[in-house]
Chains A and B, each alone.
Chain A
Amino acid sequence: MRVELTEMLWFEEHAVSFSELSDLTGLSPGILEELVGSGAIEPLDPASPEPRFGAAALEAARHAHRLHEDFELDTQALPLVLGLLERIEGLEQQLQALRARLPGRIR
């Protein structure tokens, strides 16, 4: 059976609500609330009464859910780990960008 996929969403372009974010990631509303409160997961529009969450938040919330389930990390430790993971990802991107700029033969 062939299934044609029609709806593909770029992470970057599709924002979700608080409850959708909780549903999508399996992260409980209570923990999500705390992570948003501590700034570990940021909405696109913090001032809005009904905030929307973008790609970075979805990725962070999925990480948070896995780390909570697999390591029993609490809401004290999660922001710390999420922050470090974000920094590592940023550094890896920088490293890749620098590698691309280097001539291939001397790498």
Chain B
Amino acid sequence: MKYKDYYAVLGLERGASDEAIKKAYRRLARKYHPDVSKEAGAEEKFKEVAEAYQTLKDPEKRAAYDQLGAHQPGQDFQPPPDWQEHWQSTGDESFSTEGLDLSELFERLRAGRGRGGAHGSMPGQDYEIAVPITIAQAYQGTELDLDLNMPEYDAQGQLRRVPHAFKARIPKGASDGQRLRVPGKGGKGFNGGRNGDLYLNISLRPHALYRASGHDLYLDLPLAPWEAVLGTSVEVPTPGGLVRLTVPRNTQAGRHLRLPRRGLPIPKGGQGDLYAVVLIVVPSVAGEQEAALYRQLGEISAFDPRAHFSEEGSYAS
């Protein structure tokens, strides 16, 4: 079993008071709790903090933990021979610490003492995972292979991590932030307790061309100045394939040209729209002839792009 230094996780010395333990937990929970923190890796960090607190806040468990002795974090160790006898009160001969994680050992203590051990029922744990998918996968629907290590109670009521391989079918039309619940596919319940659920949190991976907003997609459409002035017809990529789009004359930068029902499918039926956001781009290097034509254009054009600067009320007064 790998040793974890619960005191160090909370930033405390071994003899810390109950009050100090509570304070340290509150401070770290506020920083890393997945419901309030956006820090990278917050959820993992919070799990460590919560695991440490679960054990140290309970006087009995803390005493049991202290008797394991101090080791280096990550160091392999076994509980002293009389430890199990003393703390394991269910009289369960099959109990073995082999292959158990430290948190599972303490979970087992709690199960043994508080919930009637092998005689009570325990609901399986819910499991929540992030499922990033591509826009193409959201468009067509997809099947993903998920390999999870889920905490589960075995026949002896011991909590173990059990590998599970799933094939998850994500229906088409999944959008960013949507959640799927897979009933009964979380950790198995013990002794008649209900199975936990598996929650899949869908997120869309960033795409080189499209930006998603709900089921609508946005795509930058760069136009040359003359295309924007004269109008043109261009081929635009959409998740369903190329589509021809007519750009009207005098199209301004920033305008959104809408391609109805070319966005992501909506599960209940219908489809989002695709918006082409017009950008007017200029060549980084204009050739001699091009430059001459632009000069000529500048001379004959009456267009004043900053006319509104001189309108009434535009000056600071």
Contact = CB atoms under 8 A, between A and B. Distances in A.
The answer to whether A and B come from one shared complex is yes
Interface of A: 1-14, 23-24, 26, 55, 58-59, 63, 66-67, 70-71, 85, 93, 96-97, 99-105
B265 to A, nearest CB: 13
Contacts of A85: 35-36
B178 A99 contact: no
B197 A96 contact: no
B62 interface: no
Interface of B: 26, 29, 33-36, 50, 123, 164-171, 176-183, 185, 194, 197, 200, 211-214, 216, 218, 220, 254, 256, 267-268, 275, 277, 279
A66 B169 CA distance: 28
A13 B277 CA distance: 33
Closest 5 CB pairs of A and B: A100-B213, A100-B211, A97-B213, A100-B218, A11-B179
A23 B26 CA distance: 27
A8 B199 CA distance: 10
Contact of A70 (B50, B183, B216): B50
A99 B35 contact: no
Contacts of A104: 211, 220
A8 B211 contact: no
Contacts of A24: 197
B138 to A, nearest CB: 13
B213 A11 contact: no
Given A5-B185, A66-B35, A103-B277, A11 B29 contact: no
Given A59-B179, A105-B220, A3 B169 contact: no
20 contacts: A1-B165, A2-B166, A3-B166, A5-B169, A8-B169, A9-B182, A10-B180, A10-B267, A11-B178, A70-B33, A71-B29, A71-B33, A85-B35, A93-B177, A96-B176, A97-B213, A101-B218, A101-B256, A104-B220, A105-B220
Main DSSP-derived SS at the A contact region = helix
Contact of B182 (A5, A59, A103): A5
B277 A9 contact: no
Contact of A2 (B165, B178, B197, B214): B165
Given A99-B211, A103-B279, A8 B164 contact: no
A1 B166 CA distance: 8
A102 B279 CA distance: 10
Contact of A10 (B29, B178, B194): B178
Taking each of A5, A58, A103, which has the highest tally of chain B beta carbons within 10 Å of its own beta carbon? A5
B181 A3 contact: no
Contacts of A6: 169
Contacts of B267: 10, 13
A26 to B, nearest CB: 8
A39 to B, nearest CB: 20
Given A6-B169, A8-B170, 7 more contacts: A8-B181, A10-B171, A26-B123, A66-B35, A101-B256, A103-B279, A105-B220
Contact of B181 (A9, A93, A101): A9
A85 B34 CA distance: 12
B35 A11 contact: no
A7 B256 CA distance: 39
B26 A103 contact: no
A7 B213 contact: no
Given A5-B166, A23-B194, A103 B181 contact: no
A4 B167 contact: yes
Nearest to A65: B126
A55 B268 CA distance: 15
B279 A105 contact: yes
A2 B256 contact: no
